[in-house]
């Protein structure tokens, strides 16, 4: 068995990082809510995706706070790239996951904050400012949603009747780098009771058990920075389906997470599909 490098960090130290992550989260939430109230400005990035003043200002705030408190740590953010990329500790932020949703007045968006140690997720927070919902936790510390410890209850058997509740990315996401649309089609045929939110609220729901499992496709490190540790500490399963390097983009991830028996079933469906790219 491979030693989990995260045990090099004491529980007390992990709790301190979680406390700090929650402090940053609260500050970002206040800033995002006040930016929405005073009028969000929307711009387009070079890749055609949206960015708002709330994205920019929340990431700036986070980076300033981390640089003050942990100057030797790395920071990776969706809007301003990486600093200290060789540090063991990496703070990762997506200030607003779901920029197109917040820009369209939809409250499902969230802030994702993670702290990784030697490539392993140590601390995770997913916060939904407009919902007043926050999931947070850390390796060996448990997962909490709105202060309550969260434990997923797995299915009793591995036969599914189509009523199981799954979340997934849009079909567009499955076609972003090459055409994986056959995997979307196969997934929703096998598990038709599907939700599509286009932001990290499908992660939150797989973590707190509102959904039974979630499939994410072609997302970046800041989209997934908090999810694995939160799912695993809630007793769920996180499976990385694929990790590829996309030229001019960077590393792109596909993953399934949630209740273990359903995750295993979904992994089997995606593996059984002829595709040279699947790496599970």
**Two tokens, residue 33:** 């809510």
* Contacting residues for 11 by C-beta, under 8 A, at least 6 apart: 140, 141
Distance CA 208, CA 99 (A): 23
In the complex, minimum distance from the CB of residue 14 to its own copies, in angstroms, rounded to a whole number: 27
Nearer to its own copies, 18 or 202 (CB): 202
Nearer to its own copies, 82 or 190 (CB): 190
Distance of CA 226 to the CA centre of its chain: 5
Q: What is residue 210's three-state secondary structure?
A: coil
In the complex, minimum distance from the CB of residue 92 to its own copies, in angstroms, rounded to a whole number: 26
Nearer to its own copies, 85 or 192 (CB): 192
Nearer to its own copies, 1 or 37 (CB): 37
In the complex, minimum distance from the CB of residue 205 to its own copies, in angstroms, rounded to a whole number: 7
In the complex, minimum distance from the CB of residue 69 to its own copies, in angstroms, rounded to a whole number: 33
Q: Which of 32, 274, 260, 36 is nearest to 153 (CA)?
A: 260
Are 231 and 238 in contact, with CB atoms under 8 Å apart? yes
In the complex, minimum distance from the CB of residue 165 to its own copies, in angstroms, rounded to a whole number: 7
Residues that bind its own copies (CB under 8 A): 100-101, 104-107, 130-131, 133, 162-163, 165, 170-172, 174-175, 181, 184-185, 188-189, 192-198, 205, 208-211
Distance CA 170, CA 176 (A): 10
| DSSP secondary structure code for residue 154 in this structure | P
Nearer to its own copies, 59 or 223 (CB): 223
DSSP string, 125-141: EEEETTTTEEEEEETTT
């Amino acid at each position: 068995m491979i030693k989990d490098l995260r045990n090099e960090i004491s529980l007390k130290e992990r709790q301190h990082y979680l406390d700090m992550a929650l402090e940053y989260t609260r500050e970002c939430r206040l800033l995002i809510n006040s930016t929405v109230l005073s009028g969000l400005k929307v711009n387009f990035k070079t890749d055609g995706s949206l960015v708002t003043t709330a994205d920019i200002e929340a990431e700036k705030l986070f980076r300033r706070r981390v640089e003050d408190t942990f100057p030797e740590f790395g920071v990776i953010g969706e809007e301003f790239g990486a600093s200290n990329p060789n540090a063991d500790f990496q703070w990762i932020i997506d200030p607003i996951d779901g920029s197109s949703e917040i820009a369209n007045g939809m409250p499902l968006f969230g802030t994702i904050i993670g702290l990784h140690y030697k490539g392993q997720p140590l601390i995770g927070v997913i916060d939904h400012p407009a919902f007043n919902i926050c999931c947070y936790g850390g390796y060996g510390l448990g997962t909490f949603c709105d202060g309550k410890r969260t434990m997923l209850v797995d299915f009793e058997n591995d036969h599914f009747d189509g009523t199981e509740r799954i979340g997934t990315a849009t079909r567009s996401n499955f076609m972003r780098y090459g055409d994986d649309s056959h995997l979307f089609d196969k997934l929703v045929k096998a598990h038709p009771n599907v939700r599509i939110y286009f932001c990290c609220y499908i992660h939150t729901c797989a973590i707190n058990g509102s959904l039974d499992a979630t499939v994410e496709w072609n997302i970046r490190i800041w989209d997934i920075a908090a999810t694995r540790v939160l799912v695993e500490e809630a007793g769920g399963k996180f499976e990385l389906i694929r990790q590829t390097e996309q030229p001019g983009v960077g590393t792109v991830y596909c993953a399934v997470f949630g209740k273990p028996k359903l995750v295993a079933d979904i992994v089997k469906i995606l593996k059984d599909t002829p595709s040279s790219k699947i790496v599970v």
